A and B are shown apart, each in its own frame.
Chain A
Amino acid sequence: MSNNHDGNGLLRFTTAGSVDDGKSTLIGRLLYDSKSIYQDQYEAIERVSERRGEVGVNLALLTDGLKAEREQGITIDVAYRYFSTPKRKFIIADTPGHIQYTRNMVTGASTANVALILIDARNGVIEQTKRHAIISSLLQIPHLVVCINKMDLVDYSKEQYEKIKSEFEQFASKLDVVDVSFIPISALKGDNVVSRSSKMSWYEGTTLMYYLENVHIASDQNLIDNRFPVQYVIRPYSEEHHDYRGYAGRVAGGTFKVGDNVIALPSGFESKIKSIQGPKGNQMDTIPPESVTILLEDDIDISRGDMIVRPNNQPEATQDLDLMICWFDNNKSLVLNGKYAIRHSTQEARCIVKGIKYKMDIETLSRDVDNPEIKVNDIARVMLRTTKPLFVDSYKRNRITGSIILIDESTNNTVGVGMVI
């Protein structure tokens, strides 16, 4: 652990994988080498590993927090791990990799800047690799780093690395991914994880740690389309702040500046930004993902669920949504004409499923258009009609204003998540 981060901010990355592809070893190494594992934690898992008769210290025990997970030796849920270096703070969303945990991978991917995809150098691109890449592309994770692991077991062969790299590139050309990097590593031996490998002088790129510390993420947020979903209206009702009316929320896109002309949706009233109050006082401008309070020059009626935007750059106000969804409900399938509650930014409405266009196979990308049943972990293209207009952008353009969740009104559970096409 280090105590002086510089300005590279906070990076969230997701990993997915099964027990034997070295994912836990890699995470363990990142944590261990950045001194983010404590001695007592290490001793505790050392004891448990020994008791179970395992060879070496099983670092997976660090991330598997629930009793059931430790008993079954699997990661069921998303586990969040934290580490930091002098350059950056990191949050790892560690998810299981099997197909029955697609929804967990989708959850971990939803807020990630980087997807870390592990390939076993002996096996090359397998179904699971493709699944992870497809989910990363669907969830629009801005950066992909493909770690070709266990290089020590293929004699640090450049040919093997190049072969896997082109295999992946060929497959990824069908996907919507922009920024892909490849790193040959051995998580077990530490090659190219934190320090450069002396065994792969043919590799001219950076180490994984260097990549994570330096990958440019400031433009991962949409800084072009101004979007401010109003979350809460602050009205102190005190003597001192008698007429105060502040619109609190978290910037979802663009840069808002004091003096900007803005329009409130759905009312269509226009005004000017009088001031922006952040957690540390007044500020001249605000960008995602800051939580601020915006005050306007005019007294117009705005409440939670409304959106403040620029008059010449507005989201689509629509009751008809065309979405890619991932279904999360173990017990019930998605029903055509079924009604659900829907949440989008700070709005809530109800919706009805108007059509199921196709189900997508997330290993082959093939489409099933024959009235498929949409069960847990399935990915599908669906059409919804909402009870009132939502102010949406395409997910590709804005992950915040382009995403929704569906709630089963009888169980109150979140049963589906969707991305606007």
Chain B
Amino acid sequence: MRIVDHLSELESESIYIMREVASQFENPVLMFSGGKDSILMVYLAYKAFYPAKIPFPLLHIDTGHNFPETLMYRDQLVERFGAKLVIGSVQEAIDQGMVSEEKGFNASRNGLQTTALLEALEKGKYDAALGGARRDEEKARAKERFFSHRDEFGQWDPKNQRPELWNLFNGRKNMGEHFRVFPISNWTELDVWQYLSQEEIPLPSLYFAHERQVFEREGTLLADCDYINKRPDEKVFNEMVRCRTIGDMTCTGVWRSEAKTVEDIIKEVSTTRMTERGGRTDDKRSESSMEDRKKLGYF
């Protein structure tokens, strides 16, 4: 008897969700951060609708504080799949006075992304935003549905979520409301890497070990860049590192690593004892910092 292996089952589940989105919504969009999970999402979307083009644009919320490698990779990917790219700009939101820049040493534009994201969703009249969040990433995300309802303010109400049973998804909503949809909810970090390896998907260089100027803050290594105010005692040094997640430069920790290939990374991920978001300073602001941001509409 043929057995469907676990990666194929996850792949089929994600493709099913994406097709359901294309069927149930009028104007979906795929949120693209440049990280491996959203890269996986683009590949799965390509497979779901092949040989037709991906029937929704990619939306990148640009904090203006990106690793340059992320932007280069993004533009190549868009060209390769003939996808349409929409950019929501945090800088613009700041310039228009919708939000103001955080101050101090830990200033980050991570929180400001929510405003730019909601603004971009509203402007594009998108009724479903596909995202690459996974339930194993973070405890508030573990409670997410595949189809996650957002009210007209973009807010999430975790205590009042729609039940999801079998293959049946309810995407009904009122005007002005939208859905966040998470097709790779059931994938773990290791599943993602195994799949990327199996499918030989090229990845941004940031994920692989490279030499970089870094400094240490509260036990986390951060890449040295113009966007972060260093304290006087924070010394910059050279280190062999890689990113486990890619957010903007101000909040993405880098890891000491020697992993130069996807196989090395799989080995590293299989044996590591720290969660991948352990280096994300945005999650560490409080115990429920992700839940609080998500309620307001954060990705």
Chain A interfacial positions (CB closer than 8 Å to B): 1-3, 5, 7-10, 38-41, 44, 48, 62-68, 70, 76-77, 79-82, 84, 88-89, 91, 103-104, 106-107, 110-111, 218-219, 231-232, 234-238, 240-241, 244, 248-250, 252, 277, 279, 285, 287, 289-291, 293, 304, 328, 341, 343-346, 399-400, 403-405, 407, 412-414, 417
Does residue B96 face the partner (Cβ distance < 8 Å to A)? no
Is there contact, CB below 8 Å, between B1 and A234? no
Binary contact track B33-51/A, C-beta < 8 Å → 1, others 0: 0000000000000011111
Question: Which among B3, B9, B52 is the interface contact of A236 at CB below 8 angstroms?
Answer: B52
Measured CA separation A291–B1 after assembly (Å) = 18
Q: How far is the CA of A413 from the CA of B163 in the complex (A)?
A: 9
Determine the chain A residues whose CB is within 8 A of the CB of B52 once the complex forms: 234-238, 241, 244
Partner of B158, one of A66, A111, A279, A343: A66
**A59 → B minimal CB distance (Å):** 13
Chain A contacts of B50 at CB under 8 A?
234, 277, 293
Q: How far is the CB of A254 from chain B (nearest CB, A)?
A: 13
Can you list 13 A-B pairs with a CB-CB distance of less than 8 A? A1-B269, A3-B270, A5-B6, A10-B6, A62-B139, A63-B142, A65-B141, A65-B142, A80-B142, A80-B186, A241-B52, A249-B19, A405-B170
Query: When A and B form their complex, what is the total count of cross-chain residue pairs whose Cβ atoms lie within 8 Å?
Result: 182
Could you say which residues of chain A place their CB within 8 Å of the CB of B272?
38
* Any A CB within 8 A of the CB of B226: no
A318–B51 alpha-carbon span in the complex (Å):
35
Closest to A235 in B: B52
Chain B positions within 8 Å of A291 at CB level = 11-13, 15-16, 19, 48
A327 to B174, CA, bound (A): 23
* B-to-A contact residues, CB < 8 Å: 1-6, 8-13, 15-16, 19-20, 22-23, 47-53, 135-136, 139-143, 158-159, 161-168, 170, 172-174, 185-186, 188, 190-191, 194, 266-267, 269-275, 278, 287-288, 291
Complexed CA–CA distance, A404 and B269 (Å): 40
| Residue of A70, A279, A287, A345 with highest tally of chain B CB at under 10 A | A279
- Given the known interface contacts A66-B140, A291-B15, A403-B165, the answer about A234 and B51 at a Cβ–Cβ threshold of 8 Å is yes
For the complex, what is the distance from the CA of A106 to the CA of B267, rounded to whole Å? 38
Cβ–Cβ contact B162 & A413, under 8 A? yes
From B4, B161, B188, B275, A41 is in contact (CB under 8 Å) with B275
B4 interface neighbour in A252, A290, A400, A414, Cβ under 8 Å: A290
Bound form: Cα–Cα A414–B149 in Å:
12
For the complex, give the distance between the alpha carbons of A41 and B276 in Å: 11
- Whether A241 contacts B51 by the Cβ 8 Å rule is yes
Contact present for A244 and B51 (CB under 8 Å): yes
A399 partner residues in chain B, CB cutoff 8 A: 166
- In the assembled complex, the CB of A204 is this many whole angstroms from the nearest CB of chain B, namely 28
Q: Determine if A9 and B3 form an interchain contact, defined as CB atoms under 8 angstroms apart.
A: yes
Specify which chain B residues have a CB less than 8 angstroms from the CB of A277 in the assembled complex. Answer: 50
Asked if B159 contacts A68 (CB within 8 A), the reply is yes
B288 cross-chain contacts in A, Cβ below 8 A: 67
Known: A218-B3, A240-B51. A405 touches B168 (CB 8 A): yes
**Contact, CB under 8 Å: B135 / A82:** yes
Task: Provide the residues of chain B in CB contact with A77, threshold 8 Å.
Answer: 143, 158-159, 161
Q: How far is B136's CA from A62's CA once the two chains are assembled, in angstroms? A: 11
Chain A residues lying within 8 Å of B291, measured Cβ to Cβ, are 65-67
B274 contacts A3, C-beta separation under 8 Å: no
Interface contact A289-B188, CB-CB below 8 Å: no
On chain A, the residues within 8 Å of B1 by CB distance are 218-219
- Among the listed A5, A287, A412, which residue makes an inter-chain contact with B2, where contact means beta carbons less than 8 Å apart? A287
Instruction: Find B190's partner among A76, A84, A345 (CB 8 Å cutoff).
Output: A84
CB distance from B12 to the nearest CB of A (A): 4
Residues of A close to B51: CB separation below 8 A: 234, 236, 238, 240-241, 244
Q: Do A248 and B162 form a contact, CB below 8 Å, given A3-B267, A279-B15, A405-B168?
A: no
CB distance from A394 to the nearest CB of B (A): 15
B193 nearest in chain A by CB position: A3
Task: Note all chain B residues with C-beta closer than 8 A to A40.
Answer: 273-275, 278
On chain A, the residues within 8 Å of B135 by CB distance are 80, 82
Contacts of B164 in A (CB 8 A): 107
